[in-house]
Structure 1
C-alpha cells in the first residue's frame, strides 16, 4: 500500500510481482555513503532502495520535526519533477532508479 507525504509517494515492501511489472531490476543503480546533500529533481524519479536509510527534507516544508519523509531498504519511492530537497543519508544507499 502506498502513502504520500510532502509530495513523496512511498510503497513499503511491494511484492516482487509489482517490481517485475515495473522492470525495476533492469533499471540502473546508484549508491552513496552516509552524507547530507541538496538535490533537485529535473524529472520524476521512481526508485527502489535495495539498502540504506534516508530522511528526505523537501524545501519549503517548514523544517519541523515532521517535515521529512524517511525511506529505507524495501521502499519503492516516487519523487515529483521539480522537487528540491535535502537528502540526509543515515545508512549507505544502494538503489535502482528511473527518471521519466
Structure 2
C-alpha cells in the first residue's frame, strides 16, 4: 500500500469557514467510506488559537497512485473549495 500524509489549509477569506461547514458533512461521508475500505489511517482538523477549524491533516493509504488521485481530486474539501493550500507527501507508518 502507498501511504500519504496530507497537510491542507483552508482559505483565509471571509467565506472560508462557511465553505468548510457546508462541505464538512459530505467530506465526512467520504472519510467513513475510506475507513471502511482500509484507506483512512488517521486524520483530523487543524485548529487556530480560538479552536476554530482552519485546515486538515490526513494519513491515507491506497493500492495505487491513481486510486489516491481519484479520491483526492473528488473529495468535497477539494471540489467545494475548502482546501486552498495543500501539501501531499509520501509517508510510511512505523511498524513498532
Looking at secondary structure, tell me which structure has more helix per residue: 2
Structure showing greater radius of gyration is 2
Scaled by the length of structure 2, the TM-score of the pair is 0.28
Looking at secondary structure, tell me which structure has more strand per residue: 1
Higher RCO (CA 8 Å, separation ≥ 6 residues): 2
